[in-house]
Structure 1
């Protein structure tokens, strides 16, 4: 367990739950930039919640929103999955840094932030806004329960371990979500 507790909601509006995680990512990014913080603990918490969040979105949220909204289509879902793959690739580079007091770590944090902020901005505009407008409150609550259940399952399984992230990146390369190794 890290010094950074990861909230474990059991219900809520899926849009609000996802936005809450986005704010948590931003907090943990600030901690990883702070030389006086426990950067190792922040990195571990960030990795766990980031991977659990992304996997839960892909399995529980994106497919259902694609069916429920006019504005979230297969292209948006595929783009979101590509961005999750890019995030996992940046996360792997961050996790593979030996220490947290090196320029390599600082550079990896900034690369992670760049990829993550791009995704968060797009997701909030193109997926979450339409979901809030086009999906009923009751359905968003049902989606929220499915999202947090999947998120918790991934957290319990150590979603942010370097081995798991490495496997996710390999899978993304194999599925064509990321360029083939060496391209």
Structure 2
């Protein structure tokens, strides 16, 4: 996986691996947990929003990509946002509450990433041309960058996302 890839599947996988790295940092009591959480929060929100805006709608158009899996992915993004908000609201990164909320977030995100990799991303590899995956990758990267530039991972923005999903 070269840094120059635009294959949407590879870009999504790269984000998933970075999230795993950040989980390891957030579990380390000697690390900059707050800094890792800030990076994680922005990455998770930008990644999910870019998938929902650019990738999922495009994948729905392929007959061998399961619509239910796409809807399920959106639902799991909402669950991850709720778990993320709960962790963002913990003030003491050395507390037991931090550890509990972190594990809830890890569980939600890893479950989603694992399912997405086994279903949607494999379907995309099999059914979507390399050229189309490259186009989707560019769109995904652009949308992701816009969300990152808008400080999408702030506690206020995550709270607003959670509240809008509930209404």
Q: Which of the residues 162, 172, 177 maps onto 2:165? A: 172
**Of the candidates 156, 160, 163, which is equivalent to residue 156 of structure 2?**
163
User: 1:53, 1:17 → 2: CA distance?
Assistant: 10
- Find the aligned partners of 1:27 and 1:58 in 2 and give their Cα distance: 23
Please give the per-residue CA displacement for 1:130-150, whole angstroms capped at 9, x wherever unaligned. 101110000000000000000
- Report the equivalent of 2:136: 143
Aligned to 2:88: 95
How far has the Cα of 1:71 moved from its partner?
A: 2.6
Change (3 A) 1:17 1:145: same
* Corresponding pairs, count: 165
User: Which 5+ residue runs of structure 1 have no aligned equivalent?
Assistant: 1-8, 175-183
Aligned to 1:30: 24
> What is the CA deviation profile of residues 15-54 of structure 1, one whole-angstrom value per residue up to 9, with x for unaligned ones?
0000000000000000000011111100000000000000
CA distance 1:126–1:36, shift in 2 (3 Å): same
Q: 2:112 matched to 1:119?
A: yes
State the alpha-carbon separation in 2 of the partners of residues 71 and 14 from structure 1. Answer: 15
Tell me by how many angstroms 1:10 deviates.
Answer: 7.6
Calculate the aligned-residue CA RMSD, in Å.
1.1
Q: Give 5+ residue unaligned stretches, structure 2.
A: none
1:68 CA drift (Å): 2.4
Structure 2: how far apart are the matches of 1:57 and 1:71? 15
**Runs of at least 4 residues of structure 1 off by over 2 A?**
none
2:14 is matched with which residue? 20
How many Å separate the matches in 2 of 1:10 and 1:90?
Answer: 32
More helix by share: 2
- Partner of 1:4 in structure 2? none
- Given the alignment, which residue of 143, 147, 154 partners 1:154? 147
Using the size of structure 1 for normalisation, the TM-score is 0.88
